[in-house]
Structure 1
Amino acid sequence: MKKLMSFFIAIVAACLLLTVGIKRLESAQGDSSAKTLNLFNWGDYIDPALIKKFEKETGYQVNYETFDSNEAMLTKIQQGGTSYDLAVPSDYTIEKMKKEHLLLPLDKKQIKGLGNIDPSFMNKSFDPDNRYSIPYFWGTLGIIYNDKFVKADQIQHWRDLWNPEFAHSIMLVDSARDILGFSLVKNGDSMNTRSRAQVTRAKDDLDKLAPNVKAIVADEIKMYMIQNEAKIAVTWSGEASEMLSNNSHLHYVVPTEGSNLWFDNLVIPKTAKHFKAIYAFLNFMLRPENAKQNALYVGYATPNDKAKALLPKDVRNDKQFYPPTDTIGKLQVYEDLGLKTVGMYNDLFLEFKMHRS
């Protein structure tokens, strides 16, 4: 009897050890079979109906968490407390994440529909050969004007902002790279310059613009423009889209001499666990009908060529948000300039804000 009991205990112990071993193996392999997807995205940056559709089609449950800046997203992933399966950083942030080894390369053999993406939006400097990222949405930095106060031919170029007629009329988005950036473009310099002399000259020109600046703000810029409380604003196309949909007197211009071209992208953080769910979701979002639905909900420009073809004619032919090829060719994607250079931009931008106060 004792021998039988000892044998039984040994069997139980062996089973426990086997269970622990399997659990550890699953953990090491990422537990890719779990019916879960942890998605880390900007706020209200996907049609909720698409998430429900994906869950119904695949059986995966999407846990959706949001962030409000690239920096907040990066910090959360650096800390590693949460195992996000997919995140949506912007272009220059991907460079940072690659340098810090925070991303896993894409297994393109598992991806269907990558050919739907416009080739001109692939193989960008922040991720050559798209080893780590898939374009999600894209947009520009531009000028919004209200036709109740400003004629179209008055505000087509960055230099037009310096017109004395626009005294105390311009809202600027609170962003060092963007505001110094358009001043750099006006002077024929790169938005990614590391030259202190060029950035200082751009800042000095902004000091001359100060009498025309009504305020430097963040999200409030939408309210000001929608309610006709400012004549002109400098902001991003996504913000502009929301403003234009709420005020028919507003128009968006991307200066033909150049501006910023930005991308938000789907990437796989190194802490990802649910790989079957990840590739199911990527393939789902690459399907033209789903990318089209998402573009109509979010209001940003889709990089999915086949999805764009499905959009209403007035949307896909809107040059305010789908600029012509010659304009796109002059747009610049932000690069990761490093802490020292970014610090220089931030310091000079702060000087400009203090100058106008």
Structure 2
Amino acid sequence: MIKFTALSRVSLRNGTFLAAALVAFSAPAMADPLTVSNWDGYMAPDAIETFNSQTDNEAELVLHATNEEIMGKLIASKGAGYDVVFVSSPFAEVLHNLGLAEDLDHSKIPNISNLYKEATELPHDPGNEFSIPYAWGTTGLCYRSDLVETPTSWNDLLKPSEDVAGKTTMLATDRWLLAAGQLDLGYSVNETDPEKMAEVRDLLIEAKKTLLAYDDTTFYAKLVSGEAELVQAWDGWCNYGIGENADIKYVIPEEGSDLWVDTMVILKASENKDAAYEFVNFVLDEANHRWAAENILYKVPNEAAMKGVDPALLETFPNMAFKPEDMLKYEQLRDVGEAQRDYSRIVSEIKAAN
């Protein structure tokens, strides 16, 4: 029997498990636990139980709060102790570049055929050689249409009118915070030129003076209450606000968006590769994957799953109906290598500025 573990987006638990090999007379040693790291609430509450019953595995879920948290653990352990991890695509690319990601055998993932063609052509991993996309979407502006005019530009957020100033929020995570400034200035969301990034820094320092908060998790609640009127948001999280107040809308600014992709990666250090493949294939089952679209309100790159989504849901949350070919017009966040240190330094300077 294979034991299973996973991680979470909101809460933190110790995701390291030590399995002692038990030898009794001629009985074989027990396999080490299979560990899957995921964000909290990112798959069905009974997904692990269902996986266990359908595959005769014994799985447990362990949670990580952020990409950075799980990456720190994976890099420190060289992937040991984990088998499948859910991480955003730039971090999947880092795992690959560090030699920690398994080169995938597609013959062991038959449900990979459920993916949209576009989901097999993502710039960070053409052909899904080391990662399988789980959810994808855009980043834009989420706003109260009854309180503000429809925003059209990132500038509407970064240099808001007097009546909106103090009622805006931006994402706190480094890459997305910087992307708003990069896009506003017409630069790549992977820009690394020091002079251009200095411009981005200065723009975001000025924008900070008009912000209510940096907020990755409760910005939609601030919109619902009216405390905020215009926020930077991932499309799926904006949907949580739309579900509570129909006056909340989502728009991609004229300068564009990033294309964000959350992925599943099997670790090269995994000692439970067959079970890891079974789990990835289980997630890609159209009914299992559809749960994510219908319950966390994120688009999934699974064509078979999305075809079964209730059309009424797409009407209520229009960004869920974005076509894959249109999303691929936007630039993916990529691994920027050593420049990530510069990104972190710049964000620290922005947040420390008065």
TM norm structure 1: 0.83
1:299-318 → structure 2 map (5 Å cutoff): 299-316=297-314, 318=317
Q: Which amino acid aligns with 2:290?
A: K
Separation of aligned partners in 1, 2:208 and 2:85 = 38
Asked if 1:71 corresponds to 2:68, the answer is yes
SS at 1:39 equivalent:
strand
Aligned match for 2:100, one of 92, 99, 102: 102
- 1:166-205, aligned counterparts within 5 Å? 166-205=164-203
Of 224, 246, 271, the match for 2:269? 271
Q: Aligned pair 1:43/2:40, yes or no?
A: yes
Q: Say if 1:133 and 1:266, in contact at 8 Å, map to a contact too.
A: yes
Q: Which residue of 1 aligns with 2:211?
A: 213
Aligned partner of 1:204: which letter?
D
- CA deviation string 1:287-327 (max 9, x = no partner): 21221123212221110011101001133464323435675
AA aligned opposite 2:153? H
- Runs (4 or more) in structure 1 with deviation over 4 Å come to 324-327
Q: Which residue of 2 aligns with 1:319?
A: 318
Match of 2:18?
none
Contact 2:297–2:320, Cα closer than 8 Å, also in 1: no
Partner deviation per Cα, 1:148-194 (whole Å, 9 max, x = no partner): 31133xx1221222242322121112123212212211221111011
- 1:298 match: 296
| CA distance 1:290–1:182, change in 2 (3 Å) | same
Instruction: Please say if 1:240 is aligned against 2:221.
Output: no
Separation in structure 2 between the aligned mates of residue 330 and residue 206 of structure 1, nearest angstrom:
25
SS in 1 for 2:319: coil
Q: CA deviation at 1:88?
A: 0.7
The match for 2:331 is 332
> 2: distance between equivalents of 1:128 and 1:93?
15
| Alignment of structure 1 residues 76-91 onto 2, 5 Å | 76-80=73-77, 83-91=81-89
The answer to whether the 8 Å contact 2:138/2:327 transfers is no
Query: How far, CA to CA, are the matches of 2:314 and 2:216 in structure 1?
Result: 28
Identity within the alignment, %: 25
Are the structure 2 counterparts of residues 90 and 342 from structure 1 closer, same or farther at C-alpha, using a change threshold of 3 Å?
same
Name the aligned partner's letter for residue 354 of structure 1.
Answer: A
Unmatched segments (≥5 aa) in structure 2: 1-22
Deviation at 1:229, TM superposition (A): 0.8
In the alignment, the residues of structure 2 paired with residue 287 and residue 115 of structure 1 have an alpha-carbon distance, to the nearest angstrom, of: 10
Alignment equivalent of 1:281, drawn from 279, 282, 285: 279
Partners in 1 of 2:320 and 2:198 — Cα distance?
Answer: 31
Specify which structure has the bigger relative contact order, considering alpha-carbon pairs within 8 angstroms and separated by 6 or more residues.
1
- Mapped to 2, the partners of 1:111 and 1:325 lie a distance apart of 22
Matching residue's letter, 2:171 = V
Aligned residues: 327
* 1:345 corresponding residue in structure 2: 343
Could you tell me how far apart the structure 2 residues matched to 1:115 and 1:326 are? Answer: 18
Is the Cα contact below 8 Å between 2:48 and 2:61 reproduced in 1?
Answer: no
Rounded Cα–Cα distance in structure 1 between residues aligned with 2:73 and 2:204: 34
**Any conservation in 2 of the 1:258–1:327 contact (CA below 8 Å)?**
no
* Structure number with bigger Rg: 1
Q: Which residue of 2 aligns with 1:55?
A: 52
- Bigger mean CA offset, 261-270 vs 177-186: 177-186
What displacement does 1:47 show? 0.5
What is the CA distance between 1:19 and its match in structure 2? 6.0
Equivalent residue in structure 2 for 1:113, among 88, 111, 114 = 111
What is the CA–CA distance in structure 2 between the aligned matches of 1:116 and 1:100, rounded to whole Å? 29
**Secondary structure, counterpart of 1:266 in structure 2:** strand
Mapped contact 1:206–1:352 kept (Cα < 8 A): yes
Alpha-carbon separation, structure 1, partners of 2:119 and 2:62: 27
More helix by share: 1
Matched with 1:160 is 156
Instruction: Show CA shifts across 1:190-222 (max 9, x none).
Output: 110111111112222224434432222343434
TM-score where L is the length of structure 2: 0.84
Q: Which amino acid aligns with 2:294?
A: L
Q: Which amino acid aligns with 1:44?
A: G
2:235, 2:260 → 1: CA distance?
10
- Deviation (angstroms), 1:350: 2.8
Structure 1: stretches of 5+ with no match in the other structure: 1-15
In structure 2, give the amino acid aligned to 1:48.
P
Query: Residues 33-63 of structure 1: CA distance to partner in whole angstroms, max 9, x if unpaired?
Result: x8x6422111111101232222222221111
User: What do residues 113-132 of structure 1 show as CA deviations (whole Å, max 9, x unaligned)?
Assistant: 21211111223232232111
Counterpart in the other structure of 2:10: none
Deviates more, 1:330-339 or 1:244-253: 244-253
C-alpha separation between the residues in 1 aligned to 2:274 and 2:160? 56
